[in-house]
Homo-oligomer: A and B are copies of this chain.
Amino acid sequence: MTKQVRQLDRVVIRFAGDSGDGMQLTGDRFTSETAQLGNDISTLPNFPAEIRAPAGTLPGVSSFQVHFADFDILTPGDAPHVLVAMNPAALKANLGDLPRGATIILNTDEFTNRNLAKVGYAANPLDDGSLDGYAVHPVALTSMTVKALDGQAISKKDAERAKNMFALGLLSWLYSRPHESTLAFLERKFAARPELVTANVTAFKAGWAFGETTEGFAVRYEVKPARQQPGNYRNITGNTALALGLVAAGVRSGLPVFLGAYPITPASDILHELSKHKKFGVTTMQAEDEIAAVGATLGASYGGALGVTSTSGPGVALKGETISLAVALELPLIVVDVQRAGPSTGMPTKTEQADLQMALFGRHGEAPVAVVAPRSPADCFDAAIEAARIALTYRTPVLLLSDGYLANGSEPWLLPDVTGLPDLRVEFASEPNSPDGFMPYLRDPATLARPWAIPGTPGLEHRIGGLEKADITGDISYDPTNHDFMVRTRAARIEAIQVPDLEVEDPDQTARVLVLGWGSTYGPIGAACRALRQRGLPIAQAHLRHLAPMPRNVDDVLRRYDRVVIPEMNLGQLAQVIRARYLVDAIAYNQVRGLPFTASELEFMLEELVKNA
């Protein structure tokens, strides 16, 4: 039976099931197949806070959304075109996000009375008409998988578990994905248990064959490759990209990297990833807590390492006192904050941007630091290198603000040429810098950085500490004038950091409204702006990578527009800074839902502004 093939320009698929159903893996594989094909991609995993919530419950639902297209996309998609629901809980938890007309593929085997009751379905949605208006494909995923594996030497449980590969096979067929890499992946993954390789491969192929043969799926789809910049690509999450960026910074600076960290969601994977790269001279330490983590890191920085500590909001709250010490010591230090929804423990697996003010102001005394934020998963690589550049050149703590959305989301990454990455080499002090001997607080007039004289350097023995220091000598000083001078110098040091100008995307130069953003809102803001422009509504977009110091041209940029709007996943933290600094009546547009903005809601909001501007 030859099926009809239809061309699509983009598709959003959400795989949803129980935590034990392997949805993250399924989504990952589908993404990988899709990437191979050259589509542009963006993904959004979403998993429960519990390790294993009771099977079949709403809190136990885990999902993975992938958006792929034949053009360059910016977000994982607002609403799925296709939902794969492995059980009633997955259906119930996700149905609200589906537009009418969407496709739903259901695992009918799980729609038992017991499972329906567990999530409060009074009637079976397969029968009660509540799914009218969707294109529903009921598929007995479990039993067909088990049947396909009949006779193989595996347990019933293992056979049932392979149902996600059946589903993947079906979807791969449906969207004409190349499946060699998945088969290779299964070989690798189950190398130790060949019977599972066979089982999973069989399940995958059975799913594929089911698509090909069954009448239920009359049409097959294709999404052509996107026109992307030539080069080598891989799909990458923000946390991995950030970790690799730190490895790269180590290589390009010639310094050993030291990561001191205490596990915390959603930052732990940075520790996990870096702990694999010891061969680059990367040392990772799981410290007893966040304070020890930043302390050990500062100790390593003092000794001449590129010191990094990674955590999430609650951890940064604990590190404030030590960061304040690093400000006084004027040593390089990178503090990675993978933001999550707060306050307090909040919603640890959900994203948010509400740590900006803490990054800028969350320490006692005047304790200014540099603040840098990546805008997309792959951009975490570059942002990490930029943070290292600033920390090393200016001898200052740098807060690198990622978030849960960037951390776990993924996108294709054009692999950089390593030799083209910034040269981060630094000179340690090696001899006295004044006729009177070594002056630890005698600054480089260009950068205002003090010398980095690491222990072990003969003749430069000196003492530093958290008490106020006299300019130049670094001796303890209680002199009022000196203190005032040092406070202002520390502030000036940050303001003196050279950062690139803020770029504005305003294709026709006719926009009167500017959307200003920072961090992970880049994708949805960009998508919304594009959509508006396509509809002939001019709008300008600018996205801040540097929150402290701000690029010098921000004032100019802001004044070019009649209205400035700042969408943030907080209650207006960047807006507060912009308003204070530039006295511009920036509009704060805020949502604090633990989820990224959708492009469509931003488009809607911006449309009003543009029309009324």
Contacts and interface: CB of A to CB of B under 8 A. Distances in A.
Contacts of A339: 364
A483 interface: yes
Given A487-B592, A488-B592, A344 B358 contact: no
A363 B350 contact: no
Give the residue among A480, A483, A591 with the most B Cβ atoms within 10 A: A483
A593 B313 contact: no
Given A317-B321, A577-B580, A579-B583, A592 B343 contact: no
A293 interface: no
A576 B363 CA distance: 16
A424 to B, nearest CB: 26
A316 interface: yes
Interface residues of A, number: 68
Interface string A349-375: 110101101101111111100000000
Contacts of A358: 320, 361-364
A116 B139 CA distance: 97
Contacts of A576: 580
Give the residue among A346, A350, A355, A570 with the most B Cβ atoms within 10 A: A346
Contacts of A2: none
Contacts of A314: 321, 324, 364
Nearest to A578: B580
A505 interface: no
B361 A365 contact: no
A593 B344 contact: no
A422 interface: no
A491 interface: yes
A612 interface: no
Interface stretch (A194-202, A275-283, A460-468): A460-468
A577 B341 CA distance: 24
A364 B343 contact: yes
Given A364-B314, A580-B576, A593 B343 contact: no
Interface string A312-356: 111011101100110111000000000101111111011010110
Given A320-B317, A355-B365, A362-B363, A344 B483 contact: no
A346 B577 contact: no
B595 A480 contact: yes
Nearest to A478: B347
Contacts of A593: 480-481, 483-484
A594 to B, nearest CB: 5
Contacts of A575: 580
A256 to B, nearest CB: 26
Nearest to A326: B344
Interface string A297-320: 000000000000000111011101
A246 to B, nearest CB: 22
Given A321-B314, A483-B350, A594 B478 contact: yes
A212 B328 CA distance: 53
A266 interface: no
Contacts of A312: 364
Nearest to A576: B580
A571 B480 contact: no
Contacts of A346: 328, 365, 466-468
A49 interface: yes
A581 B586 CA distance: 11
Contacts of A341: 365, 468, 483
A187 interface: no
A490 interface: yes
Contacts of A349: 478
A218 to B, nearest CB: 36
A585 interface: yes
B467 A347 contact: yes
Nearest to A480: B593
7 contacts: A317-B324, A342-B366, A343-B366, A343-B490, A346-B365, A350-B483, A579-B579
Given A49-B467, A583-B585, 15 more contacts: A324-B343, A325-B345, A328-B346, A342-B367, A344-B365, A346-B466, A347-B468, A354-B364, A354-B366, A355-B364, A361-B362, A366-B592, A478-B594, A481-B593, A488-B592
What 10 A-B pairs are tightest by C-beta distance, nearest first? A342-B365, A313-B364, A344-B466, A480-B593, A345-B466, A343-B365, A357-B361, A343-B367, A580-B580, A362-B362
